[in-house]
Amino acid sequence: MARELDVIVIGWGKGGKTLAGTLARAGWRVAIVEQSEKMYGGTCINIACVPTKILIHDAEQHRGNGADADYFNTAVERRDELTAKMRQKNFSMLDDLDSVLVLTGRASFTGAHSIKVEGGDEVVELSAPKIVVNTGAVPAIPPIKGAEISGRIHDSTTLQHAELPKKLVVVGGGYAGLEFASMFAQFGSEVSVLDRGERALKQEDEDIAAEVVSALNDAGVTIITSASVTSLSQDAHSATVTYDRNGEEHQLHADAVLLALGRTPNTAPLKLENTAVQLGDKGEIKVDKYLATDAEGIYALGDVIGGAQFTYTSLDDNRILKDKFLGEGKRNLEDRVAVPSTMFVTPPLARVGLNEDQARAQGLDIKVATKKVADIAAMPRPKIVGDPRGIIKFVVERKTDQILGAALMHVDSQEVINLVAMAMRAGINASTLRDSIFTHPSSTEALNDVLGSFK
């Protein structure tokens, strides 16, 4: 079979595994390569989305004071049990298909349509007319003295497998950094976040960012802005972070340090120099709107192409290649609009489209509706579950009444944002959404109230 392959998929992420299964069921002879048996199913179920959200959920249920190692370890055990089951299920979903060859090892290109897979002492050579790269991304390590992942200095993967720190310093105030800060603070750690920006979450409108910061402060997180880290050091007992703030040197000491400064496309091991594939400035594989590279027959999808690094956009990449290989070949990246996202602090911040600052910078004539969750009488669910914090904000084009964007920070916002995004894609205007009938008590019914309060 290996000599008669139709396609090779490198990497078991959401887009790659879904495409591999679809093509196999359509009669294609497929090989899928994953570098480690611990990563069957991809980053999402093994080290990112699923395991971190399990820990976030259990952290939110923690009612004790101080760092409770036993409670944390119980949460870790639950995480590991679930991810192991999901990993085995993902493996079986492809390995059980007769037309799929599963290989575990590190893949690298040896030519335009050929690769070798190295696993231990074994080397397997494969070739196919089509090769799909789905190798994801890895944590970015900054060029800072002492910034090496070892001992007490962690990335987002290793920290999950360390002891619960009594004191944690998070370097980076982006989505991942603040999610981990929120989570560990609720587990009882004393958490400080070092953010280079003049204010936290500078990509968000100031009123939204302030609400997030307030919730983090409630959990005990200290955010230090305008902080530029200059070095890290550690010994057997603690780690030290040295940073510059407004020209003055400061230090923080902690049991653990998390480097949360984004993720870099995982292309280095692929030896793409043996192909015509081109890379961008950040190491991402350059593709056209149909996910084709500059090398004929080589495609890429998911985090390895840069841009928004979400499991659900990787899944949508799969739909583009499915249409190219099995359909009309019309679907492409330009079809993708109103893609929502969620930062899982407590309560979560979900958003889609333009914020107010962006809309005004574009010169758009807008109207804005903003309400604190605690002030929304027709939204009892957050009060029922005991967390009425948060804010809801909509940005709407005044003339057409079309929704340009929204930011929702409240209980269940990660669900409600999907309804808003769908309304935007379908061209459903703000008034129609305002007058829709929603279940009660729910978080969704806040839309009835907020969308009737434009200024």
Query: Is 122 found in the same domain as 10?
Result: yes
**For residues 196-217, average pLDDT:** 97
Half-sphere exposure of residue 36: CA atoms within 13 angstroms, side-chain side: 7
Whether 144 is in a domain gets the answer no
Query: Is 309 found in the same domain as 232?
Result: no
Boundary (domain end) residue, out of 228, 261, 294: 261
Boundary (domain end) residue, out of 335, 354, 376: 335
Distance CA 150, CA 62 (A): 29
**For residues 318-340, average pLDDT:** 98
For the chain, helix, strand, coil in percent to 5 are 35, 25, 40
Whether 146 is in a domain gets the answer no
With contact defined as beta carbons under 8 Å apart, do 255 and 238 qualify?
A: yes
The confidence score (pLDDT) of residue 170 equals: 98
Find the farthest-apart pair of alpha carbons in the chain and give their distance in angstroms, rounded: 68
**For residues 148-156, average pLDDT:** 97
Which range, of 62-71, 89-98, 375-384, averages the lowest pLDDT? 62-71
Helix boundaries (H) for 327-440: 356-361, 381-384, 413-426, 430-434
Percent of the chain with pLDDT over 90: 97
Whether 455 is in a domain gets the answer no
Query: Is 92 found in the same domain as 27?
Result: yes
**For residues 138-164, average pLDDT:** 96
Whether 405 is in a domain gets the answer yes
The confidence score (pLDDT) of residue 120 equals: 87
> What rounded mean pLDDT belongs to the chain?
97
**For residues 280-284, average pLDDT:** 96
Is residue 420's pLDDT more than 90? yes
Active-site residue, 440 included: yes
Is residue 4's pLDDT more than 90? no
CATH of the domain at 313: 3.50.50.60
The confidence score (pLDDT) of residue 1 equals: 52
What does the pLDDT look like over 217-252, one tens digit per residue? Answer: 999 999 999 999 999 999 999 999 999 999 999 999
Query: Is 349 found in the same domain as 328?
Result: no
Is residue 17's pLDDT more than 60? yes
The confidence score (pLDDT) of residue 3 equals: 62
Query: Is 351 found in the same domain as 312?
Result: no
Closest CA to 408 of 381, 440, 436, 435: 381
Distance CA 395, CA 400 (A): 12
Boundary (domain end) residue, out of 242, 261, 280: 261
Query: Is 362 found in the same domain as 293?
Result: no
Percent of the chain with pLDDT over 70: 99
Indicate the number of domains in the chain.
Answer: 3
Distance CA 118, CA 101 (A): 15
Is residue 202's pLDDT more than 80? yes
The confidence score (pLDDT) of residue 65 equals: 82
Query: Is 214 found in the same domain as 91?
Result: no
Query: Is 330 found in the same domain as 346?
Result: no
- Paired tokens of 246: 């407004």
Question: pLDDT band for position 64 (50/70/90)?
Answer: confident
Half-sphere exposure of residue 242: CA atoms within 13 angstroms, side-chain side: 12
CATH of the domain at 403: 3.30.390.30
Contacts of 83 (CB under 8 A, 6+ apart): 45, 46, 50, 51, 54
Whether 179 is in a domain gets the answer yes
End-to-end alpha carbon distance in the chain? 65
Provide the whole-model pTM: 0.96
Whether 29 is in a domain gets the answer yes
**For residues 246-259, average pLDDT:** 98
Query: Is 314 found in the same domain as 392?
Result: no
Q: Which long-range contacts (CB under 8 A, 24 or more apart) does 238-241 make?
A: 238/152, 239/151, 239/152, 239/153, 239/169, 241/169, 241/171, 241/194
Question: pLDDT band for position 455 (50/70/90)?
Answer: confident
Query: Is 133 found in the same domain as 269?
Result: yes
Question: pLDDT band for position 2 (50/70/90)?
Answer: low
Distance CA 225, CA 81 (A): 38
Query: Is 368 found in the same domain as 422?
Result: yes
Catalytic residue among 113, 237, 410, 440: 440
Contacts of 105 (CB under 8 A, 6+ apart): 33, 35, 117, 118, 119, 120, 122, 124
The confidence score (pLDDT) of residue 52 equals: 97
Is residue 339's pLDDT more than 90? yes
Whether 148 is in a domain gets the answer no
Query: Is 299 found in the same domain as 172?
Result: no
Whether 143 is in a domain gets the answer no
What does the pLDDT look like over 345-364, one tens digit per residue? Answer: 999 999 999 999 999 999 99
**For residues 170-187, average pLDDT:** 97
Which range, of 58-72, 255-269, 407-421, averages the lowest pLDDT? 58-72
Structural domain containing residue 55: 2-137+264-335
With contact defined as beta carbons under 8 Å apart, do 277 and 307 qualify?
A: no
